[in-house]
Structure 1
Amino acid sequence: MNYRVIKEDDLFLLTDSSGNIHEGDEQGLGLFTKDTRFLSQFEVSVKNLEMILLSSNAAENYIGTIRLTNKEKVENGEIKVWRESIAMERKRFIAEGVLYETVSFRNHNVYPVELEIGIRVDADYKDMFEVRGYLDGQEGTHHPVETGKDRIRLSYTGSDNVERATIVTFSPQPKTISEKEAVYTFSLAPFGTAEIDISITPEIDRERPQTRDRSEAIRRLEESYRQWDAACTTVETDNETFNALVNRSKKDIRVLLTDVGYGQFPVAGLPIFAVPFGRDSLIAALQLFAINPDIAKGTLKTMAAYQGTRADPWRDEQPGKIMHEIRCGELANSGKIPFTPYYGTIDATPLFLVLAAEYYHWTGDEAFIGKLLPNIERALEWVDTYGDRDQDGYVEYFQESSKGIANQGWKDSGDSLVHKDGSLAKAPIALAEVQGYVYDAKIRLAAVFDRLGQPDKARGLRESAEKLKADFARDFWMQDEEFVAIALDHEKNQVESVTSNPGHCLWSGLLTEEQAQKVADRLLAPDMFSGWGIRTMSTKSTGYNPMSYHDGSVWPHDNSLCVMGLKRYGFHDHANRVIEGLIETSKHFEYDRLPELFCGYPKEEGYPIPYPVACSPQAWAAGTPLVFVKVILGLMPDVPAGIVRLSPSLPKGINRMVIKNLRVGNGSLDLLIQKYNDVHTTLKVLHNSTGLQVVTG
């Protein structure tokens, strides 16, 4: 990472490694909230010394610490300040909508040193889509800068008639404040110190969060992290790399949590996608059940609140459809982009249904599912009507919005659907994995409707699902490759690329036993498995490129769904090989963190190659190691039926796993899994307050 990011709720700061946002930044750095950049410049400099970076750390996500020191200062051949004798530290955190930073200095010389400190700020109030270079043409008005003895106020009224402002406050009072710069002069005594406190508060239409005493602000923030840890499952193994990976994921998920009024749910990722995302948030919530099932409820409520209500081609909206992405900046508010929200995703609606069913089976929360039932029924209706455009039994997508997304599955880049001859598939397109999500949703929800006393509805869902499974086996199976096609194109021709997408069909249970065996073996064959993980596309396929976003790279979340599928069909060794590869991968990335994606080069080349613009942290990448916990345990709760199924299988390098506070239903489990050799693994239930029967095997 060549940037540093901290976040809390809807506010995040993205700077270079030295903690600065330079004037004229073209890297997308800034302080952001509500899809708007509230700081486009933030530079702290020592005007009379040249400083160099010592260390830069944001491992905790909510707090960043940057340390610098000075180069030697020479005047007329005489050393005035020895090198590395002035220590500078920048410590910052975000709490309750305010950015706090403390800049401190320490003199390690036996003589006093004069320092002149400049703090420059500016705000361009660009929409995130402008910052990322997707659109341009800001049409609002920047107002004159307001200054006081200890503050600077920058402001702007957008074309959406919203006034946005940034209040920068300094303590102690600076020597001078000009239009956009505060200047301090310090005479540091021998071994003396000095400190500057800065608070930066975004303001929208004259409303802004309360600025607290910073010790109270950090106390409240740290307490919220302690509460998160206490609510999560504890995982301890004899493999320190895996322990670090799981702990990192829990921290990353916590920093990505946001609440827009319906409960906490994970936004997609930093720095570009710190907004509600249908597909990403739903998959991340599915990944989190073994660690914290509460997040599923907040995610479901949020998605239900924004469920489509009308046919609106501008936003690719239809009744019952689950949204893709919400933006709330100037471009969205003024109608220049359709993200208010935008509904151009084909998989969010069936994934919403899968999450609802999984939540019910994991928690037994019949009261909540009863309240959600109208949303579930509308989503099911969308699947069978608007989702199936030509009534052929498959859910397909087609972009209607002029400023929408063309490819509306998770592989949404323009070149992600490639025929064998190299041509790109044309829409409407029926993706393989989406049919799997639909099948899984209907099978799971049939059990829910049975429980709710609606057997006719349950029977109809099962019959529809079984017909889909039979048709899919016929229409998507590539005889030459003995593998599932990624999609059917607008003429119902197979898109004959070998990709990772059929691994999702394993997760959904859509494949026949014979097909599942062949798909599982191919996913672990050298053309698909790099040694670090399963590639998005086979090295033998026409469109393969190891540096491509979707045509040869490795996505951890994609692997996590494949791993769940491999486990579902009983391919324990296949699943463990993928888990082992990604555990090893994490050691090569900063903070022991799996990135959004990395390049698909083979492991024989020595180390995983980073993808240049991967989000980090990213929700479904952070969720991947948490899926591994579920898969290793072979955990399948069915709370309404009164049982918890466990089928543990430890990968190489892990011989002992202790699980505490694994919440299922109305209680929790503590478990001990031990492996004595390749064929002998034992499971011991240390604690069970769920009232459920634990079934093994």
Structure 2
Amino acid sequence: MDDAYSVQTTAAETAEADGLEQLMALKDADTFCVADQWGDLKGGADGLFDNDTRLLSRFVLTIGGARPSRLSSGVSQDNVFFSAHTTNRPLPPMGGRSAPAGVLHIERRRFIWNRRLFERIRLHNHGIEDVLVPFAFDYGADFADIFQVRGTFRAKRGEIAPPTHDGRRVTFAYRGLDDVERVSCLAFSEPPARISGSRAEFMFSLPTGRRVDLYVECGPDRCEAPDEGRFRRNAVEARLAMRRRRRRGASVRGPRSPRFNDWLDQSRADVALLTTDLPTGPYPYAGVPWFSTPFGRDGIITAWQMLWLDPSLARGVLTYLAKRQATEVSAFKDSAPGKIMHETRGGEMSALGEVPFGLYYGGVDTTCLFVALAGAYARRTGDLETIRALWPNLIAATQWMTDYGDIRKDGLISYQRGADTGLSNQGWKDSEDSIFHRDGRFPKGPVALLEVQGYAFAAWQAMADLAQALGEPGHEQWAARAETVRSLVEDRFWMEDEGFYAIALDGDGEACRSIASNAGHLLFTGLPSPERARRVTKRLLSSEFRSGWGVRTLATGQARFNPMSYHDGSVWPHDTAMAAAGMARYGERRAVALLLGEIYAAAAHFHLRLPELFCGFERAAGEAPIAYPVACLPQAWAAGSVFLMLQASLGVNIDALRGVVEVDDPVLPAGIERLNVTGLQIGAGAVDLAFQQMGAHTVAVTRRKSDGVAVRIVG
């Protein structure tokens, strides 16, 4: 999910950057805030952003001229509130004795709602004497485009106007090179003793045992006057909106021991945090901070992970992407008619074409995944009305696969970027060094990635099934096309001496014989023969791939293996989940339960919030997994991974077109003795399922079932 302007090759290169792993994130719709553990914004990789523009780049609180001592901080489990608890250092004398350290409790409580940051600063005097409290905010707004914040050089910028201020508010303004004026306003509930364009100073007299509150708001327009009522009303609205998003779809609950349930709750809350309700329906944005925007591939895979529990995400993703399907050929945008979007951005640099990501199509796999998800959605929901509305888009997508995706006219989907500004690699492993030959050479293009052929296979199969369900022509031709792709992959990518598939074919048709996790995605699509799937699974479960915390992206011993790299030996939870679901497709449920247990153990060390990726070092007894320092946190397909793995482990398959829920040989992960799935919607009906460990076997029973829904339990 990287792009040409943010490629990271090793964690070591970025470990001395700006401590991104320490940032705390809040998000609502297209507005997000990342701050340090004190709640401060210091002009690094942090800030308050709206529509890919930084509206507030500096916002630092000092008490008596010093940063307070931090007690604790964090984000609430529902992801609505950030809170930081601090205490004062010794205060300077104010007409008498100075106050000692540790007598003031300073709480900062913050949330984002309706394109605004709301914050309450509460000061409570726990000392035995009255205190005069001098405190101040230093602030600023640079209106940097998100790509600037990420390090992209700009030779020229627009003009920042001098800040203006009145008694309790400061207004910042910037006119960009796109001739758009961007404004942000910072307002306080109490008038400062002194205020300027960069600093507000306050002096509160605080009797012993008493407290005082200051309310702050910042947003991309004229400020309202902050007060307690506005803070409370908007906080309630923000929390209710998050609750609605979290409660969509079915529920999964584990045993009475709360730890596993806390992981499920945190993961569900992270998906809800990243999901924005667009006019086309809910869409999971990829991740905070760098990818808080619709991505095609990430949205599709996250929706697929959640599909069995909450199909509304898939419908929202499909509908949104259909409306942004390409209609023209553009080398700069890597677009061609029928292609599905990779990424969209709203900042100044995208509007000016300084970067191609305003509406960018440089993902070779997204179009195939779009079609395949449509097939999975129809099977899961029976919603043929939506599929019929999308049918012209699906036809256009398959036309792209034939006319533009098959660059070499050899029956395989391949890529070669259209302009130097685009992505050099256009699969999910899109960093510069992720695709290579066994000796480390980079392949010449066009490149045909292994997993993309699996997605194409799934897409052709989906079109065949959908045509049959809709009574449209083409069923036989699309089914035949799927089998042709299967034959090509088995013939050209399989390496008998390795018992594995090559990661790619280069422009000469030579196999890139690197041993990588991409083969796990091929299993997910069901393309390999059972015998080859067994051999791939065995290798993916070997110590070459398994770190003890999940599956590495690259096997140890490969030319570019580096456990600290972005794609060449790290562990990505969604990648492990895709491989696990693929194994389950071939009956390997115990392997899935094993991997689920490993990912759960990793999550426990990351405060139950899985990052985008972490380092692929071998697990050592008593030690935690090693963090990748600039991983997105939270990240949508990392949060969704647990739900895909649970579905695979439990063997739950839903066919709403036939009104059937099948549970095939379920297996619970070690240490989880029971699990309940409630509110699975099947058409107009619903099903509740319960799973319990009984000796060496997992037993599934139906707790509730609507008429017209059949439940089949196998094994």
**Bin for the TM-score computed over the shorter chain:** over 0.9
1:601-616 aligned at under 5 Å gives the runs 601-604=617-620, 606-616=623-633
CA distance in 2, matches of 1:654, 1:476: 39
CA distance in 1, matches of 2:313, 2:439: 44
Residue 4 (structure 2) aligns with = none
1:655 aligns with 2:670: no
* Root-mean-square deviation over aligned CA pairs: 1.9
- How far, CA to CA, are the matches of 2:482 and 2:204 in structure 1? 73
Query: CA separation in 2, counterparts of 1:38 and 1:75?
Result: 36
Match of 1:562 in 2: 579
| 1:690 to partner: Cα distance | 6.6
What is residue 497 of structure 1 aligned with on the other side? Answer: 514
Indicate which of 438, 442, 458 corresponds to 1:440: 458
CA distance in 2: counterparts of 1:262 and 1:115, whole angstroms = 50
Q: Which moved more, 1:280-289 or 1:45-54?
A: 45-54
Residue in structure 1 matched with residue 17 of structure 2 by the alignment: none
TM-score, normalised to structure 2's length?
0.93
Task: Show the 5 A alignment for 1:153-192.
Answer: 153-192=171-210
| Alignment partners' CA distance in 1, 2:218 and 2:481 | 55
TM-score in terms of structure 1 length: 0.96
Alignment of 1:596 onto 2:612: yes
The residue that corresponds to 1:361 in the other structure is 379
Q: Which residue of 1 aligns with 2:9?
A: none
The more displaced of 219-228 and 238-247 is 238-247
What residue in structure 1 maps to residue 14 of structure 2?
none
Structure scoring higher RCO (CA < 8 A, sep ≥ 6) equals: 2
Q: Does 1:7 align with 2:20?
A: no
Residues in 2 aligned to 1:260 and 1:405: alpha-carbon distance in whole angstroms? 27
User: Which amino acid is 1:348 matched to?
Assistant: T
Q: Is the 8 A contact 2:189 2:225 kept in 1?
A: no
Match of 1:413 in 2: 431
Residues in 2 aligned to 1:275 and 1:436: alpha-carbon distance in whole angstroms: 26
Label 1:124 to 1:640 Cα distance change in 2 as closer, same or farther (>3 A). same
Given candidates 310, 317, 340, the residue that maps to 1:322 is 340
Q: Secondary structure at the match of 1:244?
A: helix
Match for 1:9: what amino acid? A
Any idea what SS the aligned residue of 1:313 has? coil
SS in 2 for 1:593: coil
How many residue pairs match? The answer is 688
CA-CA distance at 1:668 after TM superposition:
2.1
Query: Is 1:549 matched with 2:538?
Result: no
Q: Are positions 1:226 and 2:243 aligned together?
A: yes
Secondary structure of 1:356's counterpart equals helix
Match for 1:20: what amino acid? D
Q: State the AA in 1 paired with 2:612.
A: E
1:536 paired residue number: 553
1:244 paired residue number: 262
**Contact 1:49–1:71 (8 Å) recurs in 2:** yes
- Cα deviation 1:562-609 (Å, max 9, x = unaligned): 11100101111221111111111111113x111110111111363211
Q: Secondary structure of the equivalent of 2:328? A: coil
Please point out which of 144, 159, 162 is paired with 1:126: 144
1:8-407 matches, cutoff 5 A: 8-22=28-42, 25-26=43-44, 28-48=45-65, 51-60=68-77, 61-73=79-91, 80-203=98-221, 213-238=230-255, 240-407=258-425
CA distance in structure 2 between the aligned counterparts of 1:572 and 1:354, rounded to whole angstroms: 23
Q: 1:483 and 1:194 mapped to 2: Cα distance?
A: 66
**Aligned-partner Cα distance in 2 for 1:59–1:535:** 31
Distance 1:308 1:331 in 2: 21
Q: CA deviation at 1:208?
A: 11
The 5 A counterparts of 1:658-697 are 658-678=676-696, 680-689=697-706, 691-697=708-714
Separation in 2 of the partners of 1:535 and 1:200? 42
Q: Return the letter of the residue paired with 2:571.
A: V
Q: 1:474 to 1:50 in 2, by over 3 A?
A: closer
TM-superposed deviation, 1:368: 0.8
CA drift at 1:340: 2.2
| 1:499 CA displacement | 0.6
Query: Partners in 2 of 1:119 and 1:540 — Cα distance?
Result: 52
CA distance in 2, matches of 1:531, 1:305: 42
Q: 1:627 to 1:336 in 2, by over 3 A?
A: same
1:574 aligns with 2:601: no
Contact 1:96 1:209 in 2 (8 A): no
User: Does the residue aligned with 1:164 lie in a helix, a strand or coil?
Assistant: strand
Shift of 1:479: 2.1
Q: Does structure 2 conserve the Cα–Cα contact (< 8 Å) formed by 1:126 and 1:138?
A: no
Q: Which amino acid aligns with 1:566?
A: M
In 2, distance between residues paired with 1:207 and 1:87? 28
Give distance in 2, aligned partners of 1:408 and 1:5: 28
- The CA deviation string for residues 17-62 of structure 1, in whole angstroms up to 9 with x for no partner, is 111112xx33x11100111100111112113555211111113322
1:314 aligns to what SS in structure 2?
coil
Q: Give 1:405-484 correspondences, 5 Å limit.
A: 405-454=423-472, 456-484=473-501
Distance 1:378 1:424 in 2: 32
3-state SS of the aligned residue for 2:346? coil
| Distance in 2 between residues matched to 1:434 and 1:229, nearest whole Å | 32
5+ residue gaps, structure 2, are 1-20
SS in 2 for 1:32: strand
Question: Helix, strand or coil: the match of 1:145?
Answer: strand
Q: Is the 8 A contact 1:553 1:599 kept in 2?
A: yes
In 2, Cα distance between the equivalents of 1:481 and 1:563? Answer: 21
Counterpart Cα distance in 2 of 1:72 and 1:196: 21
Alpha-carbon shift at residue 693 of structure 1 (Å): 1.1
CA contact (8 A) 2:520 2:579 kept: yes
SS in 2 for 1:119: strand
Residue 142 of structure 2 aligns to a residue whose secondary structure is coil
Q: What's the CA shift for 1:230? A: 3.1
Counterpart-to-counterpart distance in 2, 1:305 and 1:15: 34
What runs of 5+ residues in structure 1 fail to find an aligned partner?
none
Question: Residue type matched to 2:27 in 1?
Answer: K
The alignment-based identity, stated in percent, is 36
Question: CA–CA distance in 2 between the matches of 1:66 and 1:525?
Answer: 44
Amino acid of the structure 1 residue aligned with 2:678: K
8 Å CA contact retained: 1:73, 1:79: no
Provide the C-alpha distance between the structure 2 equivalents of 1:62 and 1:208, rounded to a whole number of angstroms: 21
CA distance in structure 1 between the aligned counterparts of 2:676 and 2:188, rounded to whole angstroms: 48
Quick one: distance in 2 between partners of 1:602 and 1:242?
24
SS in structure 2 of the partner of residue 439 of structure 1: helix
My pick for the range that moved more, 343-352 or 569-578, is: 569-578
Judge conservation of contact 1:106–1:193 (CA < 8 Å) in 2: yes
Quick one: which amino acid aligns to residue 529 of structure 2? T
